[in-house]
Chain A
Amino acid sequence: MTPRMTSADRNGAVRSAATSWRQAGAIDDRALAAIEKAYPDERQGVGLVFRVLLFLFTLISVGGAFGFLVMISDTSRRTDSLPVLLLFFGAGLVIATDFQVTLMLRARGGVEAAMSLAGIGFLAGFAFWICDKDGWKDDHAFAALLLAAAILLAGAAWRWGYPLYAGAAMAAFLWSFVAFPGARLVWIVLPLLMATVLMRLSESPRLPPSHRDSCAFALGVALAGLYTAVHLGSLDSRLLEDWHHGKLPSSAILRGLSMAATALVPVIYLAIGLRSRRYVFLLLGLGTGVASLVTLRYYVHLAPLWVILTLSGAALMAVVLVLRRYLDSGPGRERHGYTAEPLFEEMGRRRMLEAGAAVVSLSPEARPVHEEPKFAGGGGDFGGGGSSSDF
């Protein structure tokens, strides 16, 4: 990121927080305007719907252009022209993206994101073509494709500040090892080595917010990879060995270790998350915890599935309500740095969770509880949220 982008990115974080404060009623319009004046963000972008449309139509146009040039190229020379086109399109799109993001200061505009994605895809395809042409085995050529994608995505995340690309880069990097023996070991060792570094970077004031988010995404993917590698189901199904027809020694000790890890890793993630209030660990702890419970049900027939589902659903709801009451009953409606009240800086998380729920159910989100618009931590003057006596 250029110094101008870094400055805009830092200011953007403050403006975004100020918007959340305004929505929560903590500040008024005048204060919001003053903050926006004090922290200008000169990057140009559009709203979500326009962004999605621009992204979609840019991808269609780029794909159409590539297809058109492939179609009009001489059929007998198509094999030769394809790599040229891949390189030409890839390089051209990456340069165009860089121009838009760094010089025109486009951000969240849709067009530059689509161009960057297509550019990286074409360049990764070019890398695959080179390896394939050179007579590499399919597995190895595919690993080269993934490695090229990982490098390009990581570079894009660093240069343009796209956190999602950082997560995708980590995923591609880990998958590139699957074509070789010892992939499972790499999936365990690499995340363990990188976790501390990524965790520190994700909170470092030296980095701009986009880079911190990139590190958090990469950390999340690495930790998910670690869980996959130690998971009993992945060991039994040879998930990470199937690609290169590798052999994994059948060892009772290994299986025992995997069982223990399947049970312990979610607990460790959750414990770290709860202790440090790090959202990545909390989310991973919950997700991997559910996965481990499903694994337990798969291997051990505790009860019929309907009993498990019904009881776990009822238990989950009960736990949520108890937790809510516990947090509400604390001084200032918080305990150990947690609160069940809606807080200021979480619009992104809220949108993510609402969108997830709406996609699952194809329904709108539930309405807010009535204390939502304003958080006032003084305690005592909030009646709802399950804390009332008639609950």
Chain B
Amino acid sequence: MNPDVADAIPRLVEAGVLPPDEAPRLLRAARGELLSVHWELRALLYVGVLLVTGGVGLLVKENLDRIGPVAIALGIGLAAATALGWVIRVAPPFSWREIPWGEVPSPNLAFDYILLLGVLLAAADLAYVEVKFTPLGPNWSWHLLIVAVFAALAAFRFDSRVVFSLALSTFAAWRGVSAARFGTDLWWKGAEDAVRWNAIACGALFAVLGFALKQSGRKAHFEPVAVTLGWLLVLGGLASGMGERVFWWTWTLGLLLAGLGLAAGAFLTRRFPLFAFGVVAAYAALSRLVLESTGDTLGCFWFFITPIPVIVGLILAQRRQKEPA
């Protein structure tokens, strides 16, 4: 309910600004006589998916002995197949195209959520089969790659950014688990080093993938997902090196340069969330470099003084590239 808007609508109609045929509905919404629950229904659907997948996870964990592994694997597989079967039945034909608001139209309110449910159930089933029957043996972490590829295929076929982000995060998890397990070989100094390098490489790969999608004009609306996750991995990987004992400064310098580069590039291309990542990363890295050998008093002084030029810079930057409110 918004009395100010309700008050303004008749005046705007009278002034010829608002089309008279739209006014009654706008007025009802402003008076609180008509309420949309569209986004609430979507949120509830999402909660429903999370509850079901959580329940299935507990089922696997708690009822292994009672129900038996084959029954559990078949049950979850059947549920996943049902969800994905419905998705296949109602899905529109595959398309690379983008429609004016950026995506292939979703045929149903529940479509994305049922698809997510199907993919999550299939992933849970695969994980269960791997744990129970160990078909991949010591290379069990490869099942994460299989899930990532499966999710990516589903994401592209059914045009789902939610599932695409699941595919990317599962791929990153595969690299993380693999590196942590095999990181002590001759390539790396230790598991931590291996995970860090893998995170950076994954991040770079995602960023390049996002760039390629945008350049090719195929599923270009997936680009923000890939680029954002990619930069988070790169910056996170570099930031984790700031705690190193010996070569902390190389990682910190890397973070500073990456942060500055990202902030500059994102500012020029008006990618404001990425700009924020870059600014925060660069400031954190610079603070780490400067404060390495200073005491608490100087540290406080640093944090007192240095944000001021940053604030001034941000205000000036905002005036040059107006971010939409």
- Our pick among A52, A278, A337 for the contact of B276 (Cβ within 8 Å) is A52
Q: Are B17 and A58 in contact (CB under 8 A)?
A: no
B29 to chain A, nearest CB (A): 5
Q: Is the CB of B38 within 8 A of A343?
A: yes
Tell me the B22-67 residues at the A interface (CB within 8 Å): 22, 25-26, 28-30, 32-59, 62-63
Nearest CB of B to A111, in Å: 7
- B311 on interface, CB distance cutoff 8 Å: yes
Query: Which residues of the other chain, A, contact B44 by a CB distance below 8 angstroms?
Result: 316, 319-320
> What is the CB-to-nearest-CB distance from A25 to chain B, in angstroms, rounded to a whole number?
10
In the complex, the answer to whether B22 meets A64 with C-beta atoms within 8 Å is: no
Tell me if B308 counts as interface (CB < 8 A to partner A): yes
Verify B105–A345 contact, CB threshold 8 A. Answer: no
Please state if B297 and A203 are interface contacts (CB–CB under 8 Å). Answer: no
Is A193 interfacial (CB-CB < 8 Å)? no
Whether the Cβ atoms of A14 and B106 lie closer than 8 Å is no
Query: Using a Cβ cutoff of 8 Å, how many contacts connect chains A and B?
Result: 300
Residues of A within 8 A of B113 (CB): 317, 366
Taking a contact as CB atoms closer than 8 A, the residue among A286, A313, A365 that contacts B55 in the complex is A313
Report the stretch among B159-167, B193-201, B240-248 that lies at the interface: B159-167
Specify which chain A residues have a CB less than 8 angstroms from the CB of B18 in the assembled complex.
Answer: 27, 31
Asked whether, in the complex, the Cβ of B305 is within 8 Å of the Cβ of A64, the reply is yes
Which residues of chain A are near B318, meaning CB under 8 Å?
46-47, 50
Task: Assess whether A53 is interfacial by the CB under 8 Å rule.
Answer: yes
* Residue of B with least CB distance to A204: B3
Say how far A311's CB is from chain B's closest CB, in angstroms: 8
Q: Quick check: A205 and B55 within 8 Å, CB to CB?
A: no
By the criterion of a CB under 8 Å from any partner CB, how many residues of chain B are at the interface? Answer: 100
Chain A residue numbers with a CB within 8 Å of B40 are 282, 286, 353
> What is the minimal beta-carbon distance from B222 to any residue of chain A, in angstroms?
9
Q: In the complex, A369 Cα to B105 Cα: how many Å?
A: 6
The answer to whether B62 touches A304, judged by C-beta atoms less than 8 angstroms apart, is yes
Q: A334-371: contact bitstring with B at CB < 8 Å (1 yes, 0 no)?
A: 10011111111110011001101100111111111110
> Taking the complex as formed, is A377 at the interface, i.e. its CB lies under 8 A from any CB of chain B?
yes
Point out the residue from A204, A309, A345 that lies within 8 Å of B58, measured CB to CB: A309
B314 with A50: CB separation less than 8 A: yes
Which of A33-41, A95-103, A163-171 interfaces with chain B? A33-41
* Interface size band for A: 35 or more
* Residue of chain B at shortest CB distance from A56: B280
Q: Does A305 belong to the interface (CB within 8 Å)?
A: yes
Q: Please determine whether A46 and B4 come into contact, CB atoms closer than 8 angstroms.
A: no
Is there an interface contact between A65 and B3, defined as CB atoms closer than 8 Å? Answer: no
Interface-lining segment among B5-13, B184-192, B207-215: B5-13
Q: How far is the CA of A50 from the CA of B103 in the complex (A)?
A: 28
Please state if B165 and A362 are interface contacts (CB–CB under 8 Å). yes
Please tell me if the beta carbons of A64 and B8 are within 8 angstroms of each other in the complex. no
- Complexed CA–CA distance, A353 and B41 (Å): 10
A residues 310-342 in Cβ contact with B at 8 Å: 310-314, 316-317, 319-321, 323-324, 327, 334, 337-342
Residue B112 is within 8 A (CB to CB) of chain A in the complex? yes
Contact A47 B35 (CB under 8 A): no
Tell me whether B41 and A340 are in contact (CB under 8 A): yes
Is B33 touching A338 in the complex (CB atoms < 8 A)? no
8 contacts between A and B (CB under 8 A): A38-B12, A46-B325, A56-B280, A67-B303, A306-B56, A306-B58, A337-B28, A386-B109
A residues near B (Cβ < 8 Å) are: 10, 13-14, 17, 21, 26-27, 31, 34-35, 38-39, 45-50, 52-54, 56-58, 60-61, 63-65, 67-68, 70-72, 108, 111, 203-205, 209, 277-279, 282, 286, 304-314, 316-317, 319-321, 323-324, 327, 334, 337-346, 349-350, 353-354, 356-357, 360-370, 372-373, 375, 377, 384-386, 390-391
4 cross-chain pairs, A with B, having the tightest CB-CB distances, nearest first: A47-B323, A370-B105, A313-B51, A64-B303
Known pairs A31-B17, A49-B275, A339-B37; list 6 more (Cβ under 8 Å): A50-B272, A278-B32, A309-B54, A320-B44, A346-B36, A349-B39
